[in-house]
Amino acid sequence: MMEMHQLHEYQKRCVDFQCSHPETALWVDPGLGKTVTTLTSAAHLLNTGFLRGVLVVAPIRVCRLVWKQESKKWAHLQHLNFMLMTGTRDQRTRALLKEGTHIWLINYENLGWLAETLHTYFIAKDRPLPFDGLVWDEISKCKNSATQRVKSVRKILPHFKWKTGLTGTPASNGYKDLHGQFLVLDEGKRLGTSKTAFRTRFYKKVGPFKEVAFDDTETVIKNLIGDMTIEMSAADYLKMPDLIVNNVFVEFDDATRLRYDQMEKDFFIKLDSGAEKEMFNQASLMNTCLQFSNGAIYPVAGMPLWEPIHQLKLDALDDIVEEAAGKPVLCWYAYRSDAARIMERFKDLNPINLTECKSEHSLNVAMHRWKTGDCQLMIIHPLSAGHGIDGLQAAGHTMVWFGLTWSLDSYDQAVARLHRQGQGQPVICHRILTKDTLDQAQADALDAKALDQNALRLAVKKYRENKLNSS
C-alpha cells in the first residue's frame, strides 16, 4: 500500500490546484493518475469539513472498476466509503440515501434520474444534498451542451460548491467541444450558456455545412478558461516508451475490388448530394464500405446478420499473432462481425473478448490471464473498454487495429492502454488497412488529429483525389 508522500510532484501540483479552486479542469494524459489525484483532493476537502460528500459521474465501467479500487492502493484513502448508484430505481434511491457515504458514483446515462430524484427528496424540501462536490470523469462526454444529460444536470449545479472535470482529450473535435464541458463546471461564466452564441462568437460559416474557427479563437478561449485549467502531457513528466505505428496493407483480388468500388461509388454520390436528409444514408454507406474492408458486411442496416466477404485482415492478424511468438497481442475491433470472426478464427488460442466481460469477476479473470501470459490474443471494442481498463501494459506491448475508429478520443484512449507509465518496452501499434479503401481516409484523419465533421469530409476528399491520381 502506497503512502501519500509517494505521489509524484506533478500529482501534488494538481492536488494543490484542485483544493485551491472551486472549479477546475484537469487536462491530463492517460497514465498520469487523474483518479488518485482527485481522490486525494476530495479526501482533503472532506477531512477539513469543506465538503460533506462528493458525487463522481463517470462511464459505467469506470464507476464499477476504477475509483474504489484505486483508493485501496493508498493508505490516506482507506477511510473513504463509496456507494455505487446503479440498478433499478429503488436500488439507486437506496444508494443515494445511504448514510455514512463519502463518495457516490453514477454513470452518465442516469443523470436525468439523479436530477429528478434530488429535486424530489432534497431540493423541493429545502434540504441540503448529501454531496456538494462534483467530479466529472471523462468530462468530454458533456461536450454537446444540447444533450438531455447536460440539460438535466444544469438544474442541480448551483447546489455544488466544488466541481472538477477530468479528461485526456478535451477537444478531439475542435474547440467547439469545450462549451458543454465548461457549462457543467462553471455554469456558463466563461464560455456562456448558449451553444449558438458560442459558435457565433468563435466560428464563421464558410459554406452551408462548414464553419471554421476565427484566427484568434484558440487564444481567446484559452485566456477565458486559463484560470481554472491545468494541462499536463505524459511526455513532459514521464519517460514514455517509444510508440511505433506500422501500417499493414492488404489488397483485394480483382472481383472483390469491383464489388467494393461500386459500393464506394454509391457512397460518393450520396456524399456529393449535400442534402441533410441523406446524412443517414451517407453514414450507413460509409459504414458498409468500412465493414467490407474488414471482411464482412451487414446487408440489411440494423439487422444482426452479417455476410462474410474476405479473410484478408484475418490472415494479416494471423501473421502478427504468429510473429509475437506467444506473447500477448491486444486487438481493437470496429464491428460485432469483426469480433465474431476473430474469435472463431483464433479459437484454438482461447482468446478473450474483454468487451463481453460485463462483471467484475469476469474482468478480473480476463486480466489475470493477460498479466500471467495465459492469453495470447485479447480483443476489445474501443468504445467499451478505452476507459477504465488499467494494467494491460504490464504484460503486453503489441496492439493491432483490425478496424479503426473516427473518434480521436477513443483512438488515443485505446493506444494509451499499452503506451503508458509502467510499459517497459517500445509499443508496436499495427494498423491493418485494406489498400485503396476508406480505411486509408480514417488513418489519415487520425494522423492529422482533426476529426470534426468537416475534417472527416476533407479526409474523404483527400482520399478520393489520391485514388483518382493513382488510377
Per residue in 302-342, pLDDT tens? Answer: 677 899 999 999 999 999 998 888 889 999 999 999 999 99
Q: Specify which residues 432 forms β-bridges with.
A: 248
Please give the helix or strand (H or E) that residue 469 lies within, else none. helix 453-470
What mean pLDDT do residues 260-289 have?
69
Does 277 score more than 80 pLDDT?
no
Q: pTM to 2 decimals?
A: 0.69
- List Cβ neighbours of 27 (8 Å cut-off, separation of 6 or more): 167, 168, 170, 229, 230, 231, 232
- List Cβ neighbours of 39 (8 Å cut-off, separation of 6 or more): 67, 70, 71, 74, 77, 80, 103
How many CA atoms are closer than 13 Å to the CA of 104, on its beta-carbon side? Answer: 26
Mean pLDDT lowest among 2-11, 33-42, 237-246, 423-432: 237-246
Measured CA to CA, the distance from residue 396 to residue 42 in angstroms comes to 33
Q: 4-237 adopts what CATH topology?
A: Rossmann fold (3.40.50)
Render pLDDT for 18-52 as a digit per residue (tens, 0 to 9).
999 999 999 988 778 899 999 999 999 999 999 99
Neighbours of 289 (CB within 10 A): 21
Q: So what's the pLDDT on residue 359?
A: 79
Please say whether the beta carbons of 35 and 56 come within 8 A: no
Q: Domain 243-470, what architecture?
A: 3-Layer(aba) Sandwich (3.40)
| Angle between helix 279-294 and 336-345 (nearest 10) | 10
Does 259 score more than 60 pLDDT?
yes
Concatenated DSSP letters for 27-75?
EE-TTS-HHHHHHHHHHHHHHTTS-S-EEEEE-HHHHHHTHHHHHTTBG
Concatenated DSSP letters for 177-198?
GHHHHHHHHHTTTTT-S-HHHH
* 314 residue type, one letter: L
Does 286 score more than 50 pLDDT?
yes
Q: So what's the pLDDT on residue 385?
A: 60
In what order do the strands lie in the sheet containing 377-380? 243-250, 427-434, 398-401, 329-332, 377-380, 352-353
What mean pLDDT do residues 204-220 have?
84
Q: So what's the pLDDT on residue 193?
A: 93
Q: So what's the pLDDT on residue 396?
A: 86
Rg (CA), the chain: 23
- Residue of higher predicted confidence among 85 and 300: 85
Per cent of the chain over pLDDT 70 is: 91
Q: So what's the pLDDT on residue 233?
A: 80
Average model confidence (pLDDT) for the chain?
A: 87
Measured CA to CA, the distance from residue 288 to residue 280 in angstroms comes to 12
Cite the residue boundaries of each domain of the chain with CATH code 3.40.50.300.
243-470
Nine-digit cell at 284? 450507413
